[in-house]
Structures are given as C-alpha cells and as structure tokens.
Chains A and B, each alone.
Chain A
Amino acid sequence: MSLRPRPTNPDLAQRLLTAEVCRREEARGHPQDDPQAEAAARAAGGDLLQRAHVRARHLRGSAEALPRLQRLPRVACRVLVLLCLLALLAGVTATKLLLGEGAVLNLPLLLLVLVGANLLMLILWLLAGLMGVGASLLGALPWTALAARLRLVDRSAADDPVRAALTVLGGGGRGAALAGLTSHLCWLAYTLGGLITLALLMSLREFQFTWQTTLLAADSLRGLASALSWLPGLLGAGGPDLLPLQPPMSDPERQAWARWLLLAVAGYGAAPRLIAALACAEAARRRLSRIGSDAQRPGIARLRARLLPDHRVQSTIIDPAPETAGPPAASASAAASAAAHGDARALPDSGVVAVSLEWPLRSAALGSADWQWLDAIDDPAQLCELADRLPQPGTRALVLALRASATPDRGLQRSIAALVAVAPVPLWLVLGEVERLRARGEAATAQRLADWRALAAQAGAQGVLGAGLPVAEARS
C-alpha cells in the first residue's frame, strides 16, 4: 500500500487554474511539455483529476497565477460584504427618514418603500431568468470590468489567468447565479436594515398608524389591507378584520399593527430574498464545483498516459547489445560486396544439383529443367552430410533452394557457410515462393532480397538466383 498523504480536495482557485490550463492546451492542440510538473503530479498520487491539479500547479507560469487566483474569491467576498453593508445602511437610512418625521405612520407607504421596490426587482429577476436573458447579460463582461477596476486583471497580458478565470466564472450560467446571489443578499441586507431600524424605533418612540388614502374608496382600501394581511395573518398577526384602519387606536391595537408591520416586512421583503439567495447559492455552488472537475475533457483525459502511467521502461538495460553494431546481414559493405560479386557469377549450364532446405519447394517452378533435384532436407543440421551424397562425376554446381519469405538469420548463414566449406563444387542459393514475399509489399521484398544477397556473400555462396530474376539471365 502507498503511504503517500491523501491529496486534499482542491479549492476553487486551484480548479480555475486547472480549467484554464486545460482550455489553453486544448486551444493549442497539445499539452505543454513540462517533465518536472508531470513528475510532481505522479509523485502526488490520486486519480487523474487530482494529478491534473498538481500538474497545473507545478507548470511553469502557475507559480504567480495561483496566488492571484486565490485572491479572487477573497476580494469577491470582501466586495460582497461591502455591498451588503451599504445596502444595510441604505435600509436603515430609508426607514429612519420615513419614521423620523411625524408620529403618524402611513402603513402602505412604509410597505411600498421597504418591500415594494424589492419585490418588483425580484419579479423582474425571475422573468429575466425564465426568458434566459440573464445568462447572456451577466456573462463575463461586468465581472471583467469590475476586476479591472480592482486591479485584479493584468490588462497588458494576452492570456491573463485572472481574466480567463472570470470568463469561466461568467460562463455556463455561473455568472447569472453569482449575480443573483449578490443582488439577493444586498436586498436582504437592505430589508433587514429596515426591519431592525423599525423594531428599534418603534420600541423607543410612540407612533400612530394609518391606512389613509385619497384615491381609493374605503371598500377597496379594506380589500387591499386584508389582501396584504394574508401573510402576516398566517404568521399570527391580526388584520383589518380585527383592527381599525385609522386612528384613534388603543394601545394594544397599535401594538398589533406594529407587529403586523414587522411581520409584513419580514414575510414579503426578507423571506423571498432569503429563499432566492439560498437557491442561488446552491446553484452557484453546484456550478462552481463543476469547474475543472471533468476528467473526460480532452485536455485532461489525454494526460492519462503522462500522469497515470501504466508501464515504465526499466532504465537499466539488462544485457546490453554487443559493441559491433547492426545485424551482420544489414551491414552496408556486405550488401555492396554481394552486389559486386554475388549475382555476377554465372551458374554452369549443366551438372547442376539442386536441393531444397527445410521446406519442399516445387522444383519445376524453380530453376532449369536439366537440374538434378535431390530429396529435400528438413533440417539445416543435415546439410554437411549432403556433401557426401553428391553424385561425384560431372557435378559442377550445387543449388540450395530456400523460401524467400524466411528470415535470413545467422543460423542459416552458419549452416550454408559450413556446406560451402565441405562442398566440392560452388554453391548458389535459389529463392522459392517469391510470390508470398511479394504479397507483403514492395519495400519489404526489396529489403529481404538484399538481406539474402548479403547472407549469400557472407556465407561464401556464389550468388542468389530466382526472386524475380530469371535463371537464364543469371546464367549468362
């Protein structure tokens, strides 16, 4: 078992960095070659994604990008807190201005200021979301502009990692979710500011409440009031059914209206924003967690061989190759000498004895009609006994038939050389079944024939016949 420390879950900055590296390398078509980063990733262990994060962190150029990306969420949080504080302050100020003057408070007006604008914006936001306008409006642009103001983005660099990160943060619906979260939190702060001020002032001072109106008839006013009392009613506050709409009011009636007001602001103003903020936070969380976490993206998947190797070539060669480089048959000088003297030697017209080695080759198709064929020899070890079997008088040449597609190896060469040494007459090689070799391609055929010639030359044979060159031509 490996005792490596378990890699920790990567934070957002790390995942943004990985996503950006991935995008950049996908656009470029190939991964950056950085053996050190890859070695670090392999050493870190874990699955492909975890290793891809480590690699991204160790790539050249990431050293300064990562701290800047890590600053991004911190700055964003600070900006958010600041905005919320401002909104809170606005809520406090607006409420204070409304309550500060008179001792008679107009309930519909209070509600309109503390809740109406809030609700209207919420409805607009919902509409934008449903029509799909939000995502495109709140793409990367506003973020990039804000980040540039805060000097997070380096405008001069062509592929600044922070700008790229902002594009990623703005894409795929993330920008809309984050913007939604910001706006909901601000409105929530505004409403809470109002609510707190309301509670504070109403507990310190004495106020009268009224539903005074000029335009609406008493009936419509009552209808409106009871409609608005729906939610506070659910929360336990009495509505216009129990309480008078105009002063004079008794103390308990005023207290009841005060409670009604607080509950109405909380229910109509704070609660929907809270719910919407939670929904947006959840959506943002889900969408942010998707950044840099798709191991199937080509940019990450293709790192598998580098980061999660499934084999390793041993660095030490167990048995090194001998000093004399190259196979004997491959040496250029041998091939040259073969060309010089091998095929040029003419085969005698008569007194030719032929034998096929290892594999019976059809004699009629090979060589000339007046060759005398011996039984095939199926084992190179028997070659030397062949010399004794040669019909003595009149034999002027020996032809050894081999399959052209066989590999001309050292074993065959040694056997042929041994035969040459004991044979009383010169030896030629003839290649059979050349079609089989030709079927493997032109280049392969040419190479193989050259190798046969080189072998013949090194074994001391006179030359190679067959293999496309007609015997008669070789004989002349």
Chain B
Amino acid sequence: MSTANQQPAIRLAVVGHTNTGKTSLMRTLTRDAAFGEVSDRPATTRDVRGVDLLVDDTALLSLFDTPGLEDPLGVVEALAAQGEAPDPVARIDAFIAGDHGQGRYEQEAKVLRQLRASDAALYVVDVREPMLARHHRELRLLADCGRPLLPVLNFVAHEQADAEAWRQGLARSGLHVLADFDTVVYDHGAEQALFDKLQLLLEAHRDTLASLAAQRRQQRGVLIDDACACVAGLLVDVAGAQQRASLDEAIGLQVERLQARVRQAEQTCVDTLLELFRFELGAFVSPELPLQQGRWELDPFDPEALRVLGIRTGSAVAAGAVGGLSVDAMLGGASLGTGAAIGAGVGAVVSGYRSFGRHWLDRVRGYRTLVVEEHTLALLCARQLELLRALLRRGHASTARVAVGAVSGWPGGALRGAVMRARSHAYASRLNGATAPDAALLAPVAIALQEALDARR
C-alpha cells in the first residue's frame, strides 16, 4: 500500500478578508501558477479547495484555500442573534451547523467550517490597505474558532505597503508572531521564516514542518543548479556554433540563418527555464538579439584558440616523436633518431591542420564559416543571468510577464573566460550536431553563473 492516500499530518487553512491574496499565497507556496482563480476583485474564490504538500510522495501538510471573508460584521450580528452559548467556539459551531443567516453568510460559514477542521490558519492581509475596525472584528471572529492564527503580511514588497502599521495593529489584537511574505515578489528566506514561525505555532508538528522546510531548501538548491546548467548549455552551444556556408552566397543571408538558430536555441532555453521554475510558458519572451554580424571563424590570434592549439600541438608532437622513436627502436637504432624527428613533425602538421587547416582549406574550396560574435555572446550571457535573477525573485502568484532590464557586456571575467573556452570546441555545440553537452566545458560555465548569481543575492 502506498501511503499517498493517508491523511496528512497538518491541515492549514488560508483565510483572510476578500482580495488580500489568499489564492495567490496558495499558488506561491505550492509553486503552482495554475491553481484556482486570481483576480483583483472581491469574491473570486467561492469554494474551499485543498492542496497537499508532498515529501517523498507522502502528504505532510494540506493547505486549504477559502473564500474571502466579506461581511464579518454580518456574521457577528448573526452570531449575536443566535442567543446564548457556553463559549465562543460552541457559538461558532452552532453557527456552522445552522442556516448561516438564511444563507446570507454561506461564504463566511465555509471559512469558519474549514478553520474549525484545520490545525491552524494563515491569516492573509493586504498591507497596502490600512488596518480598520472591521479587520479587528474579523480577527476576533477567527480567534473565536479556537485555532492558532499566523498573520501573513502580503504585498510587503509593494510601494504602497505599510507593514509597520499592521504590525502594531495586529499586536493590539494579540498577534505578535507574523510572517512577511509577498506572494508576487518571492523571497526564499521569507518562506523559510514562514515555516519557522509555523513551528512556533504548531509545537506538536515541529519535525514535519522542519522536514518540509528542509525539502524546500534542497529543492531550491537543485533548481538553481539545474537552471545554471541549462543556461550554461545554451552558452556553450552558442559559443561553439559554426555555420559553414558558400562564399558565393550573400553573407547577410547566412548571418540571418545563424541568428535564427541562435534565437531558437535561446527561446528553447527560456522555455526550459520557465518549466524548471514551473511558470507558465510565455511568461517571458526574449527580445530580439542584436546580432549584427557573425565573425569569421576562429580568430587565429584569439588567446584561447592559441592555447588550445598549443596543447594539441604539444601532445601531437610528443605522440609523433614517441611513434618515431619506437620505429627507431624497432630498427635497432639504425635510423639514428630520424624517426623521432619525422614523427614529431608529422604530429605538429596533423594537429595544425586539425585546428586551422580545415578552415583554410574550406576557404580555398569556396566556403566560409560563421560564428557568433563575442559581443552577442556577452549580451546573451548577461541577459540569461538577469532572467535567472528575475525568475528567482518571482512568485507563482505573479500574473505579470517577467521583465528583464537592459543589459550590456559580460557580467564578469570568470564567466567570460568559461564561455570563451567553449568557442574553440565546436564539436561540443549541439548547434553543430552534438547529442549531449560536454560536461567538461559546461561545468565551469555553470559554476561561474552560480557565482555571478550569488554575488548579487
């Protein structure tokens, strides 16, 4: 039997006034941009719906999205009209069991019923709004359900936010432990803090909450690794991309073809990133790459190309010499080392041909090879890095498109070095037909990307 169908350990209701971002909080906490319906209007959510958070396929915590409280004052009046009750909780239970003021407070009754059925509640507030008398009444009503409440200050990253006023107001209602958590501008630290604070509220479930928080930390790490590997793959592919084309054709057309391939690769990378982050496809469309011109293949004075040539020629010379030497040995030394010398020469020639000769030969045969300019590479790299940063700060409640500001030039020397290394390794580029990325080229780029990300976080 799988344990997947068992009751989760913790049940947490998400409650609050209408239009404060309860469904948005659900989306961000579950990383599910398609959950429920979100709109800037009252009474968008009208049913109670649960989501289980799983760790190793086991549901540890259930979150319940509820309709917004719209008329807490009406409920208070209806409660008063019910007559005597031994205690506030009993009064609430009687209200839930009754006809909810002839069905007028159906929506509020759903919230109270779910809260009674839960271990605790996240009370979502919109800190752009002032804290008003009705919020205090609302809180008292919720407190009467006898469940711990953790206020979640939504919209804290908004320019109109006044979190301090809410802190003071909530303290006056007896709520001193609260979590700052903007559902649109995601902050990983704030989410961890939210789980920490829940641990204070739900002593009995400390371990469960801790393992949930740990899983989220681990997932965040994996996400960053995967995303960096994805971008690194793109950079290695584009850096090594070569397009062999006839000298007879106009270079403009050929450059356009190369541009189209690079753009396609970039969009694929963006789509993969969006999928890794679980945002809806189309949340980001990369603007046109200003890819003015492809540069002639492999600048012979490019330091990296020279370095690679040096290594290759060195080893080839050695190999040739060893080969020659062994022929010398087999001939009993009669050749007096000429074998070694010839071998070394052959090695150098073979290696040189492999590095440059092919392109020169191509040139003679009437072909040119186009590669992507460094300027374009730098831009691509900077933009992907900015996109990564934007995605890391985006909550799943966000309905706006991802915006990436203007970028220019390489984001860092280490990144430049790592990407430019891939330039001289055309065989590793999937744009030239490689089936899988070359780990040895990709890893340094991915590491440099992570460092660049860390540098500004």
Question: What is the interface of chain A, defined by CB distance below 8 A to chain B?
Answer: 1-4, 19, 23, 26, 29-30, 42, 45, 116, 119-120, 123-124, 126-127, 130-133, 136, 164, 167-168, 171-172, 220, 223-224, 227, 290, 294, 296-298, 301-302, 304-305, 309-314, 317-322, 327-330, 358-359, 378-381, 403, 405-411, 414-415, 436, 439-440, 444, 447-448, 451
Residues of B within 8 A of A302 (CB): 226, 272, 275-276
Residues of B within 8 A of A439 (CB): 159-160
* Option from A2, A23, A119, A451 in Cβ contact (under 8 Å) with B56: A2
Contact with A along B37-58 (1 / 0, CB 8 A): 0001111101111111111111
Q: A313-B49, A320-B47 are in contact. Are A410 and B71 (CB under 8 A)?
A: yes
CA distance in complex: A333, B322 (Å): 91
Residues of B within 8 A of A448 (CB): 40
In the complex, the answer to whether A131 meets B319 with C-beta atoms within 8 Å is yes
CA distance in complex: A309, B56 (Å): 9
Residues of A within 8 A of B343 (CB): 127
Q: A124-B323, A302-B276 are in contact. Are A311 and B53 (CB under 8 A)?
A: yes
CA distance in complex: A2, B56 (Å): 9
Within 8 A of A (CB), among B251-265: none
In the complex, the answer to whether B315 meets A411 with C-beta atoms within 8 Å is no
Residues of A within 8 A of B435 (CB): 19, 23, 164, 167-168, 171
Q: Does B326 contact A (CB under 8 A)?
A: yes
In the complex, the answer to whether B133 meets A358 with C-beta atoms within 8 Å is yes
Residues of B within 8 A of A447 (CB): 40-41
Chain A, Cβ-Cβ closest to B132: A358
Q: Does B351 contact A (CB under 8 A)?
A: yes
CA distance in complex: A360, B66 (Å): 31
Which 6 pairs between the two chains have the least Cβ-Cβ distance?
A: A130-B319, A411-B71, A321-B46, A327-B43, A319-B48, A301-B226
Within 8 A of A (CB), among B57-96: 57-59, 62, 64, 68, 70-74
Residues of A within 8 A of B53 (CB): 310-311
In the complex, the answer to whether A330 meets B49 with C-beta atoms within 8 Å is no
Q: A130-B315, A311-B30, A380-B73 are in contact. Are A409 and B43 (CB under 8 A)?
A: yes
In the complex, the answer to whether A311 meets B54 with C-beta atoms within 8 Å is yes
A to B CB contacts below 8 Å, 25 in the list: A116-B330, A123-B323, A127-B322, A130-B318, A136-B427, A168-B436, A171-B436, A172-B436, A220-B332, A297-B229, A298-B226, A298-B230, A302-B226, A305-B278, A312-B52, A314-B50, A319-B113, A321-B47, A358-B133, A359-B132, A381-B73, A407-B19, A407-B42, A410-B71, A411-B70
Q: Does B225 contact A (CB under 8 A)?
A: yes
Question: What is the interface of chain B, defined by CB distance below 8 A to chain A?
Answer: 1-3, 17-19, 30-32, 35, 40-44, 46-59, 62, 64, 68, 70-74, 106-107, 110, 113-114, 128-130, 132-134, 137, 159-160, 215, 219, 222, 225-226, 229-230, 233, 267-269, 271-272, 275-276, 278, 312, 315-316, 318-320, 322-323, 326-327, 330, 332, 343, 347, 350-351, 354, 427, 430, 434-439
Chain A, Cβ-Cβ closest to B135: A358
A131 to chain B, nearest CB (A): 5
Residues of A within 8 A of B439 (CB): 290, 294
A473 to chain B, nearest CB (A): 27
CA distance in complex: A130, B347 (Å): 10
B138 to chain A, nearest CB (A): 9
In the complex, the answer to whether B52 meets A296 with C-beta atoms within 8 Å is no
CA distance in complex: A310, B48 (Å): 20
Residues of A within 8 A of B47 (CB): 317-321
Q: A30-B271, A123-B326, A127-B320 are in contact. Are A411 and B134 (CB under 8 A)?
A: yes
* Option from B48, B68, B319 in Cβ contact (under 8 Å) with A318: B48
B56 to chain A, nearest CB (A): 7
Q: A327-B41, A407-B42 are in contact. Are A45 and B350 (CB under 8 A)?
A: no
CA distance in complex: A2, B5 (Å): 12
CA distance in complex: A414, B322 (Å): 96
Residues of B within 8 A of A301 (CB): 226, 229-230, 272, 276
In the complex, the answer to whether B1 meets A3 with C-beta atoms within 8 Å is yes
CA distance in complex: A304, B229 (Å): 15
Q: A220-B332, A313-B51, A409-B70 are in contact. Are A318 and B56 (CB under 8 A)?
A: no
